[in-house]
Amino acid sequence: MTGMEPILHKHWRILCQGAPEPWLKDLPDTGFSIVGTRSPQSRSIRIVDETVDALKGSGLTIISGLARGIDEAAHRAALRAGLRTLAIVGSGIDVDYPAGSARLKEDIVKSGGMILSPFPDGTPPLPRHFHERNRLIAEWARAVWVVEGAAVSGTLNTAQWASRLDRDLYATPAFPGDPCFSGNEKLLSRTRPDRHPFALPFYGVNSLLDTWPSLFENQKSLFQALPNHPLDRLVARLESEFGECRLPLLQEHWSPDDWSGFTRVLQEALDAGRIRIEPTGQIRLQIRSQTPGKS
């Protein structure tokens, strides 16, 4: 990178403006890691952009691994939102990997962000190095969001690290059986907890109130207020990026300890024609038609 040399800090090579200690002291408390596939769906890029934009002024640090796809989208969204972003790489900090990423690295550092590598200069991007990178992506964060990932992937390796390090873990819900989100489906299922960690469904920035309640205490304007009425709140949660959800996931997001309250509101929504439940357990919004003379 022109005009700047990496510095050695503890076990890492770092590129940043000024001393790294003041930059790092807030982590992992304010660290939000966003990870996913190198070949994402356009809807996944869109939800990353919208989520990070909604976090303007939150003081969070967006962390990712500088890879193509979701990682790059997270860093760029942070730059647009004026949030600090930390890129942790799986090669020497001086290595052009991913190829052509020098400009993005420079933009991150100029914006007050940081590039960090646990490897000496000149280290090539070997597959085994990304396990260490993934560990750091989880370790420096308080919460990790899997946007879109395959069942066997580096993204799921980061989720494993998040679970081992006791970080909050979120995953974007998707249509059951969607191969692009097979890793997300694993994380959101409780059928084999011995084989993979369990993630909470991520429905946007409101989901993060569970992780950072005090951080957002005075920033309610960041979040779209949910309706007070339970039925309207249920429908509002379905009116998300995908507009539909599996019944167990919706119940989990509602409240694991309030099954009776959830079923009561669910039945009210069914009776009112606001939702329908498929035989597969998929719950979907019903399109409401206007009655003549009523608004």
**Distance in angstroms (rounded) separating the CA atoms of residues 278 and 285:** 11
- The predicted-structure confidence for 4-38, as pLDDT tens digits, reads as follows 677 666 778 999 988 888 888 899 999 999 999 99
- Residues 185-213, mean pLDDT to the nearest whole number: 81
Whether residue 293 has pLDDT greater than 60: no
- pTM for the whole thing? 0.74
**70 vs 234, higher pLDDT:** 70
Per domain, the residue ranges of the chain are 7-210, 226-285
Lowest mean pLDDT across 166-175, 179-188, 257-266: 257-266
- Evaluate if residue 236 carries a pLDDT over 70: no
Q: pLDDT per residue over 258-281, tens digit each? A: 567 777 777 888 888 887 777 766
Between 102-110 and 70-81, two packed helices, what is the crossing angle to 10 degrees? Answer: 30
Q: What is the CATH number of domain 7-210?
A: 3.40.50.450
Q: Give CA–CA dist 91/184, Å, rounded.
A: 27
User: Pairing state of beta strands 282-285 and 244-246?
Assistant: antiparallel
State which H helix or E strand residue 79 sits in: helix 70-81
State the average pLDDT over residues 66-93: 95
* Phi and psi torsions of 146, nearest 5°: -85, 110
The three-class DSSP label of residue 14 is strand
Average pLDDT over residues 224-238: 62
What pLDDT is attached to residue 195? 67
Average pLDDT, integer, range 197-209: 86
Looking at domain 226-285, its CATH architecture is Orthogonal Bundle (1.10)
| Mean predicted lDDT score pLDDT of the chain | 81
pLDDT score of 126 more than 60: yes
